[in-house]
């Protein structure tokens, strides 16, 4: 299955690194976090990547220009420096027909079972499956009734036990809910399909960590150095 990685944001909360490189290129254990993310999918046999570039996208292009992995097919797509998350995905529409595809952000690590996620998505036949994880603090929340998402609110402070973990399965029909470059994926599009009962949640109780701040990066580096990285 094709994998979309949103890799164009400014990463302002990690400015110690992102003043010179885009956030997905911040190294974890000696290699960019985006390569770790791709490795998560590759471990489950998903090797065709569509990387949505924006801020300092040339750095990602330069890195993959001489990248050696014969199994990976890497498509680097310019989606605009100021384009928002939903707009970036909308710009990828021409690469997908009426099919399911995988989507994630360029800054989240997990030991989620990607094929179990896909199997769940196929079983319920809804438009989008979102991964629900139990996070460290400071992320948005999901209200769930079983696996049904009944409320979606992004970037809400603590209070609910499940949040958007960033590993999605989507059907191409979802592109109809995306407008232009200023569309925020986590606002109207996902809120609208929640109202239509087309959003389901795959609960992942295992490891998940987003790299928002230097402390997060240091923690991920520590896990690798101690050979305790659950996603590898």
Q: Provide the residue-wise pLDDT of the chain in tens; the chain has 232 residues.
A: 999 999 999 998 899 999 999 999 999 999 999 999 999 999 999 999 999 999 999 999 999 998 999 999 999 999 999 999 999 999 999 999 989 999 999 999 999 999 999 999 999 999 999 999 987 655 556 778 889 988 776 554 444 578 999 999 999 999 999 999 999 999 999 999 999 999 999 999 999 999 999 999 999 999 999 999 999 9
In this predicted structure, what is the pLDDT of residue 143? Answer: 76
In this predicted structure, what is the pLDDT of residue 23? Answer: 97
In this predicted structure, what is the pLDDT of residue 161? Answer: 78
State how beta strands 141-145 and 108-110 pair. unpaired
**Whole-structure pTM value:** 0.90
In this predicted structure, what is the pLDDT of residue 154? Answer: 59
In this predicted structure, what is the pLDDT of residue 65? Answer: 93
Phi and psi at residue 169, in whole multiples of 5°?
A: -120, 130
d(CA 125, CA 227): 38
State how beta strands 163-171 and 128-133 pair. antiparallel
In this predicted structure, what is the pLDDT of residue 142? Answer: 72
d(CA 110, CA 114): 10
In this predicted structure, what is the pLDDT of residue 137? Answer: 54
Q: Which two tokens stand for residue 46?
A: 């998903």
């Amino acid at each position: 299955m094709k994998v979309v990685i949103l890799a164009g944001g400014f990463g302002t909360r990690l400015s110690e690194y992102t003043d010179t490189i885009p956030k997905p290129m911040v190294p974890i254990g000696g290699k960019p976090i985006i390569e770790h993310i791709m490795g998560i999918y590759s471990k489950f046999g998903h090797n065709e990547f569509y990387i949505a570039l924006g801020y300092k996208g040339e750095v990602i292009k330069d890195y993959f220009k001489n990248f050696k992995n014969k199994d990976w097919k890497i498509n680097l797509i310019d989606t605009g420096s100021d384009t928002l998350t939903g707009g970036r995905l909308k710009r990828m529409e021409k690469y997908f027909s009426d099919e399911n595809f995988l989507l994630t952000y360029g800054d989240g690590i997990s030991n989620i079972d990607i094929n179990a996620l896909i199997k769940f998505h196929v079983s319920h036949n809804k438009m989008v499956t979102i991964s629900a994880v139990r996070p460290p603090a400071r992320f948005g929340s999901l209200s769930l009734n079983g696996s049904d998402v009944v409320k979606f609110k992004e970037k809400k402070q603590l209070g609910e036990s499940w949040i958007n973990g960033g590993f999605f399965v989507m059907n191409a029909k979802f592109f109809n809910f995306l407008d232009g470059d200023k569309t925020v994926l986590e606002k109207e599009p996902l809120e609208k399909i929640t109202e239509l009962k087309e959003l389901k949640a795959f609960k992942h109780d295992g490891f998940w960590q987003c790299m928002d701040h230097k402390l997060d990066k240091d923690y991920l580096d520590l896990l690798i150095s101690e050979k305790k990285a659950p996603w590898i």
